[in-house]
Structure 1
Amino acid sequence: MPVTTAEKRASFRQLHQAGCFILPNPFDVGTAKALQSLGFKALASTSAGFAWTIGKADNRVTLEDVLGHLESLCASVDLPVNADFEGGFAVEPAKVGANVARAVKTGVAGLSIEDSTGDKAKPLFERELAIERIRAARAAIDADNSGVLLTGRCEAFLWGQADLGLVLDRLRAYSDAGADCLYAPGIKTKEEIAAVVKAVHPKPVNLLIGASGLSLKEAGELGVRRISVGGSLARNAWAGFMKAAREMAEQGTFTELAHGYPGGELNRLFG
C-alpha cells in the first residue's frame, strides 16, 4: 500500500524524537530510489547536487526548478523527504512564506531556511530580518496544518564567520521563532557541536558530516539527532564520471570504465 504524505510527515517527526539517524542526500530520482533500497529511513535533497544535474552552479537554480525536483523526489520514494530550500528564494519574509507554502504542496516532510545572503561583503541577513523569515516560514507551514518540520539554518561558518557565539544566538532565536530543528553547517569540533546541542536543547540538531568527520555513533553521543551529507554523494558520483571521462579525452584509453557499478544490478534495483 502506498505511503501517504501525512504518514511520511508523521514518521519524519518521530525520527527526531530519540537517537541519531543518517539523512542522506540524493540528487535525482534514481539516487533517491537507491538510497531507499539501502534501508535509510528518510532522505534530504541537496541544492548543489541537484543544480549540477541540470548544468547549473549551486545557488543558481530557480524556485520552479526546485519545486519540480522536490515533487519528483517525493513521488518516487516511500520515505520522508526533507527539502534543502536554500534561503526560501526570496528576501522579504512574506515572499519567503509564499514560497514555503508552495514547497509544502510538493509533499515534503521537512524543509530548511538559510540566513545567508549570497553577498560576500555582507553574508548574513540582519538578525531581526533572519528571524522574521523563519517566523514567516513557520506561519506558512502551519496555515494548512501540514505538519512539515522546519529547520532553521545559520550559515555563518560556511561564509567565514566562525563566531560560535553568533551562531548560538541565532539558532536560539530561530528556535524561538518556530524552527523545529536547528542546523549550523560548517561546525567541526566536538566542542562546537556540543555547544550547539546544549544551546537549543531539547530541540533536535542536524549535523553536516563531511565537515566534522565524526561517525554516526560519535555524533549521537554528542546529542546530535540527524546527520546529512550535503552534496558529498553527488561529488563522489562526479568524481568517478570525470576521472573516466578525462582518461578518454586525454589518453584515449578506457580503463576507468571497468570500475563502474554493474549495470545488471542497477536494472534489478529499478525493476
Structure 2
Amino acid sequence: MIDTLAGRAAALRALHRPGDPLVLPNAWDAGSARRVAAAGFPAVATSSSAVAESLGHADGEATPPGEMFAAVARVARAVAVPVTADLERGYGLRPAELVERLLDAGAVGLNLEDSDPRTGGLVDAGEQADLLAAVRAAADVIGVPVVLNARIDVFLRPAEDLAGPLDEAARRAARYLAAGADCVYPILLADPAALSSLVEAVPGPLNALARPGAPAVSELAALGVARVSYGGGVYDAARAHTARLLDVVRAGGDPFVGDHPAASG
C-alpha cells in the first residue's frame, strides 16, 4: 500500500510543469470525481468549500475532520488517478495525524492555507512554515512523499496597490518552499503582470485559480503557471444549473427537453 501511494505521489508531483500546467476541475464527491477522471484529467483535487457545502457545512473548517476525510476517501476510491485534498489549515490536527489520515483516505496530496480559520487573518509566515515542515517530516517518516501545496492568502484582502501584497506573497512562497512545500498557491491573484512577476520570483511551481475575470488556462500556461485549480467553481456552476432546472419544473415545464439536457436514472 505504501509503495502504491508513493508511486501516485510521484506521479502527481511530476504533473506540475511550468508552462504545461496540471489542470484540476475540483470535485466534491465520488460521482464528480469519476466525471473528472473520465474526462481525461490525470489527477483529481477536492475543494474544501464544495465538499463542505455538499455535506451541509460552511467553508472555513466547519466540517468535522471525520466527515472531510470520509469524503476524500470516497473520492479516492472512485478513481484510479492520484487525488489531492483541500484540507484548509489542517483542522487543528497534529501534522503526523493529518498525514496519516490523508494517506488512510487514499489521497497523496494536500492543500494547506495560511489563514487562521477562527479569525480569517493571516498566520505568521514562520508559524506556517513550521507547520509545512512538520507535515513534510511526517510524510518522510511514513515513506510517502505527499505533494504539499501551500496556499498563500495575501490576495484575499482588497488592496489599492498590488506591490505590497506581491512582495509579501513572494516572501511567503520562498519560505514555504524552503520548508518543504512542492507548490505555492497565491489564491485569487489574477493580474497577468503580477502572476508573471511572481512566477519569475518564486523558486518553485505556482498554482493559479481559474475563475471569472482571471486569465484563461492557455494564458496562465504562457505565464509559466504549473497548476490551475477551479476551487469551488465547478460545484457552484453545477448548483446554479440545478437551480435553473428546478425553476423549470416549478413553472410546470419539462427540464429534459430544449435547452435542458435529459438526465438519466
- The range that moved more, 95-104 or 59-68, is 95-104
CA distance in 2, matches of 1:47, 1:130: 19
Structure 1 pair 211–205 and aligned structure 2 pair: CA distance change class (3 A) = farther
Correspondence for 2:116: 117
Q: How far 1:210 sits from its partner (Å)?
A: 0.3
Secondary structure at the aligned position of 1:67 is classed as helix
After the TM superposition, which segments of 4 or more aligned residues of structure 1 sit over 6 Å from their partners?
none
Secondary structure at the aligned position of 1:139 is classed as helix
Select which of 131, 138, 141 maps to 1:140: 138
Structure 1 pair 136–212 and aligned structure 2 pair: CA distance change class (3 A) = farther
Q: How far 1:260 sits from its partner (Å)?
A: 4.4
Select which of 63, 71, 74 maps to 1:72: 74
Correspondence for 2:147: 149
Secondary structure at the aligned position of 2:142 is classed as coil
Q: How far 1:171 sits from its partner (Å)?
A: 1.0
Q: How far 1:6 sits from its partner (Å)?
A: 3.6
Q: TM-score scaled by structure 2? A: 0.88
Letter in 2 for 1:34: R
Correspondence for 1:186: 188
Correspondence for 2:215: 214
- Superimposed CA distance per residue, residues 63-116 of structure 1 (whole angstroms, 9 cap, x where no aligned partner): 1111111111111101111110100111xxx72443233212222121111110
Unaligned runs of 5+ in 1: none
Q: How far 1:61 sits from its partner (Å)?
A: 0.8
Q: How far 1:152 sits from its partner (Å)?
A: 1.0
Letter in 2 for 1:173: R
CA distance in 2, matches of 1:220, 1:99: 32
- Superimposed CA distance per residue, residues 34-53 of structure 1 (whole angstroms, 9 cap, x where no aligned partner): 11111111111001111111
Secondary structure at the aligned position of 2:168 is classed as helix
- 8 Å CA contact retained: 2:255, 2:261: no
Letter in 2 for 1:41: P
| Greater relative CO (CA pairs within 8 A, separation 6+) | 2
- The range that moved more, 37-46 or 56-65, is 56-65
CA distance in 2, matches of 1:133, 1:232: 28
CA distance in 1, matches of 2:138, 2:201: 26
Unaligned runs of 5+ in 2: none
Correspondence for 2:106: 107
CA distance in 2, matches of 1:27, 1:261: 22
